[in-house]
Structure 1
Amino acid sequence: MKIIIKVIMLCLLTSAIYADSSFAAFKKSTNLRKSYKVYKNNALLKQATSRNTKLDVDIAKQRITLFVNNKVALNSPCTTGAKHKFEPNTKTYRDKHTPRGTFKIREKIRDKHSTIFGDYFRHGKRIYHGDRRKFKGCKSGAKYVGASLYNWMRLTSDGVGLHASKYVKRYPATNGCIRLPKNVAKTIFSKVRNGTKVHIH
Structure 2
Amino acid sequence: MAENPLSSRAWWKGDGVVGKPRIVINLSTQRVQYYKGKELVGVSPISSGRESHGTVTGSYRILDKDIDHRSSLFGSYVDKEGNLVQGDVDTRTDPAPPGTKYLGANMRYFMRIVGGIGMHEGYLPGYPASHGCIRLPTKMAAIFFKETPTGTPVEIMGESALAATESEIPIGVDKITDVASPETKRDVKKKSKEPLKGQPKTTVRRAVVDASKPSWFKWTRRPPRGATIYLSEE
Q: Confirm or deny a common fold (TM above 0.5).
A: yes
Cα distance, 1:152–1:71 mapped onto 2, change above 3 Å: same
Distance of 2:95 and 2:102 partners within structure 1: 14
**What are the superposed Cα offsets for residues 83-117 of structure 1, whole Å, 9 maximum, x if unpaired?**
1xxxxxxxxxxx20000001111110111111111
What amino acid sits opposite 2:124 in the alignment? V
CA-atom RMSD, angstroms?
2.1
Q: Name the count of aligned residue pairs.
A: 155
Distance of 2:15 and 2:42 partners within structure 1: 8
Give 1:131's aligned residue: 90
For residue 32 of structure 2, the aligned residue among 61, 64, 79 is 64
**Where does structure 1 lack aligned partners over 5 or more consecutive residues?**
1-17, 84-94
For residue 101 of structure 1, the aligned residue among 55, 58, 65 is 58
Alpha-carbon deviation of 1:37? 2.4
Q: Which of the pair has the greater relative contact order for Cα pairs under 8 Å at 6+ separation? A: 2
Residue pairs, 1:1-201, within 5 angstroms: 37-41=9-13, 44-48=14-18, 52-83=20-51, 95-124=52-81, 125-129=83-87, 130-138=89-97, 140-157=98-115, 159-165=116-122, 167-201=123-157
After TM superposition, the runs of 4+ consecutive aligned structure 1 residues lying more than 4 A away are none
* TM-score, normalisation: structure 1: 0.70
What SS is found at the alignment partner of 1:176?
coil
Alpha-carbon deviation of 1:48? 4.6
Alpha-carbon deviation of 1:71? 1.0
Query: Which structure's CA Rg is the greater one?
Result: 1
Distance of 1:105 and 1:40 partners within structure 2: 20
Cα distance, 1:121–1:185 mapped onto 2, change above 3 Å: same
Compare the two structures and name the one with the higher helix fraction: 1
**Where does structure 2 lack aligned partners over 5 or more consecutive residues?**
158-234
Distance of 2:105 and 2:63 partners within structure 1: 20
What amino acid sits opposite 1:103 in the alignment? Y
What SS is found at the alignment partner of 2:23?
strand
Alpha-carbon deviation of 1:156? 1.2
Alpha-carbon deviation of 1:123? 4.5
Distance of 2:86 and 2:18 partners within structure 1: 42
Distance of 1:148 and 1:128 partners within structure 2: 16
**What are the superposed Cα offsets for residues 35-91 of structure 1, whole Å, 9 maximum, x if unpaired?**
8721222xx332256xx10101010110011101111100010110011xxxxxxxx
Distance of 1:184 and 1:198 partners within structure 2: 16
What SS is found at the alignment partner of 1:37?
coil
Distance of 1:192 and 1:123 partners within structure 2: 37
Q: What is the percent sequence identity of the aligned residues?
A: 28
